[in-house]
């Protein structure tokens, strides 16, 4: 049977109480109607992601909603995308766990931890020698903040270099003490806030691998997908062997 839609694994613990989860179906519908990109969404709870073979999907999106029911499942989804060359998007908690996976499996830091997952108190989070993801000095839950996009990066090729404002709903980010180690191991940091804190990460040479601390799910009213989500969808269609503008509903 002819393939008419790209298969996208939405890895996360779906909840009607998480705004990003509510937005995603509307975004996918907009991608179909406005941009000719038909995506079949398969929601996969994080406890199932570790045991499930994700290599048959055309793209993997690790969606917001941390702490996840299974950290191992979230990390396994990142590994499948990174090692399999599968287009990957990690937003908010997905961004955090993408870096956690990279630190453990590429940087040689198997004990790297996420402060939220282990209940590290805010007063000690920044001091933990293995705490890769720590509590932000100022929570970004429900906030908008500027992002400086680095020229010459994948992110810049999609949304343009320079300053833009994005929407957040998070309280954890990368411990800056690990910036050099991750960079030396091949990660590229392509977006920062006005204080130099990481907001976008990517892997050069991968077909499509992007993580954002902000939530592009909350861009506009959902009828105009964020350019990063549009690019992710196009990458999924390319992997599926489909062309943008010619897809029809399956």
Nearest of 79, 109, 81, 75 to residue 94 by alpha carbon: 75
Residues 31-90: tens digit of each pLDDT = 999 999 999 999 999 999 999 999 999 999 999 999 999 999 999 999 999 999 999 999
- For the chain, what is the domain count? 1
Report if residue 247 sits inside a domain.
no
Report if residue 147 sits inside a domain.
yes
Report if residue 1 sits inside a domain.
no
Say if residue 140's pLDDT is above 90. Answer: no
Say if residue 127's pLDDT is above 90. Answer: no
Report if residue 250 sits inside a domain.
no
**Between the CA atoms of 90, 37, 216 and 176, what dihedral angle is there, to the nearest 10 degrees?**
30
Report if residue 246 sits inside a domain.
no
Kindly report which listed range (95-99, 116-120, 167-171, 215-219) carries the lowest average pLDDT score: 116-120
Q: What CATH number should be reported for the domain holding residue 28?
A: 3.40.50.880
Per-residue model confidence (pLDDT) at position 249: 31
Residues 6+ apart with CB under 8 A from 161: 149, 150, 151, 152, 153
Report if residue 48 sits inside a domain.
yes
List, as own/partner pairs, every contact residues 179-188 make where C-beta atoms lie below 8 angstroms and the sequence separation is at least 24, other chains included: 181/103, 181/107, 181/109, 182/99, 182/102, 182/103, 182/107, 185/102, 185/106, 185/107, 186/106, 187/99, 187/102, 188/153, 188/154
Report if residue 245 sits inside a domain.
no
Residues 182-208: tens digit of each pLDDT = 999 999 999 999 999 999 999 999 999
Domain encompassing residue 76: 6-240
**In the structure, how many helices (H) and strands (E) does the chain have?**
9, 12
Report if residue 248 sits inside a domain.
no
CB 199 within 8 A of CB 214: yes
């Amino acid at each position: 049977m002819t393939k008419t839609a790209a298969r996208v694994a939405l890895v996360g613990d779906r909840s009607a109480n998480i705004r990003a989860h509510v937005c995603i179906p509307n975004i996918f519908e907009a991608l179909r109607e406005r941009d000719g990109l038909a995506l079949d969404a398969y929601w996969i709870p994080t406890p199932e992601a570790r045991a499930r073979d994700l290599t048959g999907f055309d793209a993997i999106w690790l969606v917001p909603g941390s702490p996840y029911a299974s950290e191992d499942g979230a990390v396994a989804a990142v590994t499948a995308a990174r090692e399999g060359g599968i287009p990957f998007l990690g937003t908010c908690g997905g961004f955090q766990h993408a870096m956690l996976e990279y630190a453990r499996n590429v940087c040689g830091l198997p004990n790297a931890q996420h402060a939220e997952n282990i209940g590290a108190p805010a007063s000690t989070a920044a001091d933990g020698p293995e705490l890769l993801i720590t509590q932000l000095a100022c929570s970004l839950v429900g906030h908008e903040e500027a992002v400086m996009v680095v020229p010459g990066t994948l992110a810049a090729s999609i949304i343009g270099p320079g300053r833009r404002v994005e929407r957040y709903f998070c309280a954890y980010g990368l411990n800056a003490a690990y910036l050099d180690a991750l960079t030396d191991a091949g990660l590229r940091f392509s977006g920062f806030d006005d204080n130099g804190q990481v907001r976008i990460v990517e892997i050069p040479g991968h077909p499509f691998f992007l993580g954002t601390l902000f939530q592009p799910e909350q861009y506009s009213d959902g009828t105009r997908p964020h350019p990063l989500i549009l690019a992710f969808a196009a990458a999924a269609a390319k992997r599926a062997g489909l062309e943008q503008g010619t897809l029809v509903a399956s």
